[in-house]
Amino acid sequence: MINRNITPYILGIESSCDDTSAAVVCGTKILSNVIAGQKIHAEYGGVVPELASRAHQQNIIPVVDTALKRAGITKNQIAAIAYTNGPGLLGSLLVGSSFAKGMALGLNIPLIVVDHLQAHVLANFLDTEENKPKPEFPFLCLTVSGGHTQLLMVHDYFNMEILGRTIDDAAGEAFDKAAKILGLTYPGGPIIDKLAQQGNPKRFTFSIAKLPNLNFSFSGLKTSFLYFIRDRLIENPNFIEENLHDLAASIQFHIIKSLTDKMDKALKTYRCTNFVLSGGVAANSELRKKMLELADKYQLRVTIPPLALTTDNAAMIACYGYFKYLRKEFSDLSVMPYSSIDE
């Protein structure tokens, strides 16, 4: 039974990739948001699905326990459990979904399935310490993460139209693969961002995909970068060390240009006054800088969530869960996780 006079406590669970996270929200207020990362993948240069599933198994109980303690509530006060049902790594999703189902069944409370990508968008509706204004519908949203790159027209909380998406690698994946080529650890995005601060973005040129629509492609850029480095290393084995900052700045420039060119194109076609960035790559300083230039050009109000809410976290899952709770959009135990948005 839903009591509309009381703002419900929603427990969110996120386990789609390599972060095990649990959060408690009360409406759009975050009471706790606990994230256990998985350092094990760093030595492999990317997420190893089997290792991720095992780490989720180890982390899920302590992470949920800590989230409840930090929120200052007991499990009996939770009104519903929202969890990521996809897209993501199937083994990882199964850990979170089995846990959520078991807990909801045990507590006899509703179960709410959440789409990971839509939750990234709704991270912008969580209350922040700075009390930033929430975006106004309709708005354009660029979701850029390690697994996904999407340009959306968001009509309301539940109506998100995909205008464009990557046809191969995601933007975060492009950062991570470029970092691997440079011999950097995973996740490479933040490292490239940091190195690039002292580099010349115009020093090296690579090829950027020219798709006619609003879709993105990064695999050609990655190959162009790979071959360029391979050839230079033949001439000079110290080429990477001697040019690391310029290489980081140049590859970052090209990845971000691929994104901002499409954003520019979308803004010319679709009128809107609000633009939102979401996903892990939204933390990138060059993207944020370019976004502000676009904001100036098109007179936009830009919303970017605080850093802790741009990367994978369960607060965004719980937030989406809250909006679904108000609509009584609950699921039964038969619902199965999906790994890709095409399923």
Q: Does 115 contact Zn ion by CB under 5 A? A: no
CA triple 215-169-280, angle to 5 deg: 95
State which of positions 132-161 bind Zn ion (CB under 5 A): 145
Q: Residue 272 or 313: which CB sits closer to ligand KG4? A: 313
Whether the CB-CB separation of 325 and 31 falls below 8 Å is answered with no
Q: Residue 70 or 288: which CB sits closer to ligand KG4? A: 288
Partner touching 151 among ligand KG4, Zn ion, none, CB below 5 to 8 Å by kind? none
Query: Cα 127 from chain centroid?
Result: 18
Q: Does 149 contact ligand KG4 by CB under 6 A? A: no
Contact characters 271-310, Zn ion, x per CB under 5 A: ----------------------------------------
Q: Does 145 contact ligand KG4 by CB under 6 A? A: yes
The three-state secondary structure class of 22 is strand
Partner touching 305 among Zn ion, ligand KG4, none, CB below 5 to 8 Å by kind? none
CA nearest neighbour of 339 among 36, 83, 81, 91: 91
Establish whether the linkage from the previous residue to 187 is cis, with ω within 30° of 0.
yes
Side chain identity, residue 27: G
Side chain identity, residue 248: A
Residue 78 host element (H or E): strand 78-86
String of DSSP letters for 97-129: HHHHHHHHHHHT--EEEEEHHHHHHHGGGS--T
Candidates 99-107, 127-135, 169-177, 218-226; binding stretch for ligand KG4 (CB under 6 A) = 169-177
Which of residues 138, 280, 305, 321 is near ligand KG4 by CB under 6 A? 280
Contact characters 15-34, ligand KG4, x per CB under 6 A: --x-----------------
The CA R_g of the chain, rounded to the nearest whole Å, is 20
CA 26, 31, 33, 34 dihedral sign is: negative
Q: Residue 110 or 187: which CB sits closer to Zn ion? A: 187
Candidates 185-193, 214-222, 228-236, 316-324; binding stretch for ligand KG4 (CB under 6 A) = 185-193
Q: Does 91 contact ligand KG4 by CB under 6 A? A: no
Contact footprint for ligand KG4 (CB under 6 A): 17, 145-147, 172, 175-176, 187-190, 193, 279-281, 283-284, 311-312
